[in-house]
């Protein structure tokens, strides 16, 4: 089968190679001329025989919307556009409407597999009318992992359902990653545990927490057992946010995925305004020392006392007046356990 593929980055380039290995003809376009097969979108369309199938694999948002709009002006009735990027599902409604007015088909396809998809195959989640999904099925079959189709591909529903399913998939991924990461920190913290990478590897077979993500965690720890010089600054690509927004809109409780998303936000702060406010409040109601940023950094670096108790000089712990005791805690003390 013949396919036009727009966007030949890490995912798109590997997808082109996997499709070619399966015997399909792929004509690729990318803004980088070193990897492109043709010089422009018009050249791409001209090189394909009608009815054409064009797969868009560019960054979500304006780049995808602009590419789809440009294809709407270049393609003909009966052609098909597949958006395989990480677009928000609401964009699919507009893209399908725009192309539908020109009798051009539209399928949204969430793609999972990352840099490993070339050899392992990609998990595919599609949305759209059955006739268009069926048209592209030879392409989907070549991209998905070997084995039963239903274990690597789903026609999830109407337009938007593919990207919606991929969005939820990525939200779950956030939660799973964070659970493994919390377990790593706890194991690292305990002095009696001497082989943290080995502990994770021992979970790889026969345990209920085994998974491909666990295998990747083992690989990362084998390469760098203590994650030396790995920054904790963690980005998010959008799907986790959209998942939480949908949970709010639909009234679905989602504490784990929400917490994992907010942890990523926290990772980007040099200091936490929230915890600064907590420290200031402890000083106000309990007379606890409010440390400077430099003093806090000393504690983080291990130069100060261990743990969260950092006693200040006696002069910095004023005794509350008798009338303040009720506000400080349930006992007559200063609320020092807070």
Residues tagged active-site: 166, 173
Structure tokens at 47: 């090189």
The length of the chain, given as a count of residues: 338
Neighbour tally for 98: CB within 10 Å: 17
Helix H segments across the chain?
10-21, 41-47, 62-74, 89-100, 117-120, 130-135, 137-143, 161-189, 196-202, 212-223, 239-250, 255-267, 273-286, 293-300, 325-328
Structure tokens at 96: 């399908």
Q: Which residues pair with 5 in a beta bridge?
A: 28, 55
Distance from C-alpha of 142 to C-alpha of 153, rounded to nearest angstrom: 11
Structure tokens at 145: 């992992």
CB proximity list for 180: less than 8 A, separation 6 or greater? 200, 213, 214, 217
Place of tokens 């268009």: 132
Classify each residue of 316-329 as buried b or exposed e, where b means 16 or more C-beta atoms within 10 Å of its C-beta: eeeebeeeebeebe
Strand order in the sheet with 25-29: 25-29, 2-6, 53-56, 80-83, 105-112, 123-127, 153-157
Cis peptide before 305, with omega less than 30 degrees from 0? no
């Amino acid at each position: 089968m013949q396919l036009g593929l727009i966007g030949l980055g890490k995912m798109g380039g590997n997808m082109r190679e996997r499709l070619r290995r399966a015997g399909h003809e792929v004509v690729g376009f990318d803004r980088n001329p070193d990897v492109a097969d043709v010089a422009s979108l018009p050249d791409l369309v001209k090189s394909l025989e009608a009815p054409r199938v064009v797969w868009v694999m560019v960054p979500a948002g304006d780049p995808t919307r602009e590419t789809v709009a440009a294809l709407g002006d270049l393609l003909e009735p009966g052609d098909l556009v597949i958006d395989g990027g990480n677009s928000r599902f609401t964009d699919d409604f507009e893209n399908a409407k725009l192309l539908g007015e020109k009798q051009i088909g539209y399928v949204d396809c969430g793609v999972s597999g990352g840099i490993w998809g070339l050899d392992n195959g990609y998990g595919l989640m599609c949305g759209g009318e059955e006739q268009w999904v069926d048209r592209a099925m030879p392409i989907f079959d070549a991209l998905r992992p070997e084995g039963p189709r239903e274990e690597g591909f789903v026609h999830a529903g109407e337009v938007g359902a593919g990207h919606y399913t991929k969005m939820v998939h990525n939200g779950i991924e956030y939660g799973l990653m964070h659970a493994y990461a919390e377990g790593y920190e706890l194991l690292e913290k305990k002095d009696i545990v001497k082989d943290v990478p080995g502990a994770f590897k021992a979970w790889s077979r026969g345990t209920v927490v085994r998974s491909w993500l666990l295998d990747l965690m083992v690989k990362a720890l084998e390469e760098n057992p203590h994650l030396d010089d790995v920054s904790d600054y963690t980005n998010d690509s959008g799907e986790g946010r959209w998942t939480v927004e949908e949970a709010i809109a639909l009234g679905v409780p989602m504490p784990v995925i929400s917490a994992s998303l907010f942890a990523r936000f926290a990772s980007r702060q040099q200091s936490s305004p929230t915890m600064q406010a907590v420290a200031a409040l402890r000083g106000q109601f309990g007379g606890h020392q409010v440390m400077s940023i430099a003093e806090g950094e000393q504690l983080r670096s291990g130069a100060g006392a261990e743990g969260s108790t950092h006693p200040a000089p006696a002069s910095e712990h004023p005794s509350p007046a008798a009338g303040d005791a009720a506000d400080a805690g349930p006992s007559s003390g200063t609320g020092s356990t807070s």
